[in-house]
Structure 1
Amino acid sequence: MNLLVDGGRHREALLALEDGTALRGRSVGAEGETFGEIVFNTSMVGYQEIVSDPSYAGQIVTFTYPQLGNYGVNEKDMQADALHLKGFVCHDACYTPSNWQSVVSLPDFLASRGVVGIEGVDTRAVTLAIREGGAMRAAISTTDLDPKSLVRRVRESPHIEEHNYVADVSCKEPHVVRPKGEVHHRVVAVDCGEKTGIVRRMAEVGIEVTVVPWDTPAEKIIAMEPDGVFFSNGPGDPDTVPTVPETVRAILGKLPVFGICLGNQMITLAAGARVEKLPYGHHGGNEPVMNLLTGKVEITAQNHNYGPVFSTFGPLVPELSGGLTEHPESLLTWSRMHVAPVAMNERYGRIRLTHVNLNDGTPEGIQFLDLPAFSMQYHPEAKPGPNDSAYMFESFSRLMDGREDYLAIDVREGRRF
């Protein structure tokens, strides 16, 4: 059955979830079928940055905002050269965008990149299914329109934890990104699925970045004599890339280290702490996070299904943790106390919790107190999203300068107007 939409002929499509949910809609993008882990994103704008984010490798992205594509797609907002997401789900896709920068419509863009998508479904129902059942396997198909058949095939499909998606999205050869002005520091960035917006933001604060593949040995990185090392965001389960925590472990204490998202998880694993899979993750540009060092709240952009468990870094240091001797059940305790607690880690000494998510109390940032390293779980480059956390790139520069107060920056200092 073909459906006529906006003057174009689009095949019927079917979305099936592991829990048995099946929704009919219209094909948007490429025809065919795709399987992956389904998540939802709550951003109201920035769909191009989202679909081009390598961190979505292996995932089917459902957008909660009702219409996608009204301002089209341009060249400058791409976060990677290729699209790595498995599929695209929205309520209504715009085929006639209106924006002076637009060069192609979103549906045509997806089709040209081979991304299978579906529109015309109740994305509220999809989101509720994910919130209640957690991130789960799913499929979109224009060829198998039998709900029982597609649900069965979804349940037989691989889990995201069975594949190393970092190896798929990382660069194959090193390359250098230079600032337009004076170079203040030189950094090696380990590409686990790095968004281009992150490298550009580092360049804006005078950092020359040499981007290297995810499996570059620590000895080779150290031999490049950088001022610091950055571990990037990326897709999938951190346990599928065990070599990266080993690289982190070999560098910690020798050079300043900074990590974002998957990089934060890699630093966590390097410290011997545990990373857990969240029920449905954080995907969107409106997550409130408190900086426990300043008491200020930042609205952040996030994209991850995994995160650190702060209590597994080690026991609390009471005199640095508001007098508490045991880890509280909820990290929101620290936001109420306005205390940045410190755990004593067996490998690296004191590690401080610096940021907490105010929605669910998950840890969002850590700082090593006995060696130069810090990381956060969210995306300070804000591609897309608010700029409240952009100061983190200046923090990295200050860390390489040897400043002890590198993280205590008021969010207003890092905002761009």
Structure 2
Amino acid sequence: MNYKTQQPAILLLSDGTIFHGKSIGISGTTFGELCFNTGMTGYQEIFTDPSYFGQIMITTNPHIGNYGVNAEEVESDSVKIAGLVCKNFSFNYSRDNASGSLEDYFKKHNLVCISDVDTRALTAYVRDHGAQNAVICTDGTSVEELKKQLANVPDMKGLELASKVSTKQPYFFGNENAKYKISALDLGIKTNILRNLAKRNCYIKVFPYDATYKDLADFNPDGYFLSNGPGDPEPLRGAIQVAKEILENNQPLFGICLGHQIIGLANGVSTFKMFGGHRGINHPVKNLITGKGEITSQNHGFAIHREEAENHPEIEITHIHLNDNTVAGMRLKNKNCFSVQYHPEASPGPHDSSYLFDQFIENIKASQN
């Protein structure tokens, strides 16, 4: 229940549709591609996920903020979503290990938000009409002015965003005396990916999105990792070239989400912008190798073309998304490389997909024999 007087606010979609609500308290406007996440928990992880950079998030769970925030439950050093749309925003919270309120967290990061929106109707609208740009306004700017500004916001197709969230300088993660060394290309890497690798006796050097293969190779790693991240993969020519050179040398390579798409592009398989995308922690995937199902966390608006992957002589599709049969995972038949379109580090299963990190380590071991 909210106990504060809230000011009116609006959400304007690029097709002219308007949804009304109330301001959480941060005055201003924010623009981005509108998308929704169906997760019932983990809102702080969602808000700090670099893959959501440039997107306005609709949370389908009607209660947001009720368990506050915790400094340990972040996937990056700041909020990455462009704005939030929710139904019931809790200014009060109750959890023993919370470090503060979501309201204060948003104020710290200057995030514009709108609550008291009919998010069921809005989610259904996005699902039926596809992803589109939108603006949240909490400062009273006229609709006509907002329409003019919104018309100038670039479409996500063709938009390179990895440079906005990638590290500026290389850094290390984990125990420097660990058994395995990993070079990771940061296209928007989630902290929990690094935790999962470090937990498996890996010492990781994380490189900026525009690092070269030589940069990564100079660390003399046992394996290479291509991370998740925001935006369209096709403009990332440098990352695609890095993937090509890793594959030419047949070194162990693992890609997640955007990294998966980069590996596809490096092998001549094109990507496409999805109508609505996959975002949530309840997405069903089938492992075609084992025949087992996995409940997965997903966050992507682009995917690789399944028909092109099926017709590629060196690619084997290993996982499919059971809702729409899109490619959820693949491996290269004659290279030490595999990738998935979902997030095993998020573990909503909770452990359905954690084997993928173990598989990466096994591939590293095999390359050393």
Q: TM-score range by the shorter chain?
A: over 0.9
Structure 1 residue 187 corresponds to structure 2 residue 179: no
Cα shift readout 1:131-159 (whole Å, capped 9, x = no counterpart): 11111000001124544543443233222
Q: Which residue of 2 aligns with 1:266?
A: 262
Choose which of 302, 309, 333 in structure 2 pairs with 1:369: 333
Give the match's secondary structure for 1:252.
helix
Q: Which residue of 1 aligns with 2:14?
A: 18
CA distance in 1, matches of 2:66, 2:111: 19
CA distance in 2, matches of 1:391, 1:314: 24
CA distance in 2, matches of 1:42, 1:212: 32
Q: Which residue of 2 aligns with 1:94?
A: 90
Cα shift readout 1:10-38 (whole Å, capped 9, x = no counterpart): 32111011122101111125220001100
Q: Which residue of 2 aligns with 1:117?
A: 113
Cα shift readout 1:267-305 (whole Å, capped 9, x = no counterpart): 010001111111110000000000000000000000000
* Partner amino acid, structure 2, of 1:224: F
* Partner amino acid, structure 2, of 1:129: Y
Give the match's secondary structure for 1:374.
strand
> Percent sequence identity over matched residues?
39
2:157, 2:273 within 8 Å by CA — same for their partners in 1? no
* Partner amino acid, structure 2, of 1:312: E
Unaligned runs of 5+ in 2: none
The count of corresponding residues between Structure 1 and Structure 2 is 367
Structure 1 residue 353 corresponds to structure 2 residue 317: yes
Describe how 1:6-405 pairs up with structure 2 within 5 A: 6-28=2-24, 30-144=26-140, 146-161=142-157, 163-179=159-175, 183-254=178-249, 255-313=251-309, 315=311, 343-344=312-313, 350-382=314-346, 386-402=350-366
- Relative to structure 1, the CA distance from residue 29 to residue 75 in structure 2 (aligned partners, 3 Å threshold; closer, same or farther) is farther
CA distance in 2, matches of 1:384, 1:12: 36
1:49, 1:384 within 8 Å by CA — same for their partners in 2? no
Cα shift readout 1:359-380 (whole Å, capped 9, x = no counterpart): 1100000101101000000000
Cα shift readout 1:346-402 (whole Å, capped 9, x = no counterpart): xxxx21100000011000001011010000000000166733101111110001011
Range with bigger deviation, 205-214 or 7-16: 7-16
1:22, 1:147 within 8 Å by CA — same for their partners in 2? no
| Greater gyration radius | 1
Cα shift readout 1:185-213 (whole Å, capped 9, x = no counterpart): 11001000000000001111111111111
CA distance in 1, matches of 2:27, 2:340: 38
CA distance in 1, matches of 2:116, 2:147: 19
* Partner amino acid, structure 1, of 2:196: R
CA distance in 2, matches of 1:118, 1:60: 10
CA distance in 2, matches of 1:222, 1:232: 17
RMSD value, Cα: 1.8
Give the match's secondary structure for 2:51.
helix
CA distance in 2, matches of 1:152, 1:22: 15
Q: TM-score, normalised on structure 1?
A: 0.84
Cα shift readout 1:77-100 (whole Å, capped 9, x = no counterpart): 111001121111100111111001
Give the match's secondary structure for 2:363.
helix
Give the match's secondary structure for 2:221.
coil
1:49, 1:383 within 8 Å by CA — same for their partners in 2? no
CA distance in 2, matches of 1:13, 1:146: 11
Cα shift readout 1:236-295 (whole Å, capped 9, x = no counterpart): 111232211011111114211100000000001000111111111000000000000000
CA distance in 2, matches of 1:117, 1:162: 27
Range with bigger deviation, 142-151 or 123-132: 142-151
CA distance in 2, matches of 1:402, 1:125: 51
CA distance in 2, matches of 1:291, 1:384: 16
CA distance in 1, matches of 2:341, 2:160: 20
CA distance in 1, matches of 2:41, 2:55: 19
Unaligned runs of 5+ in 1: 316-342, 345-349, 404-417
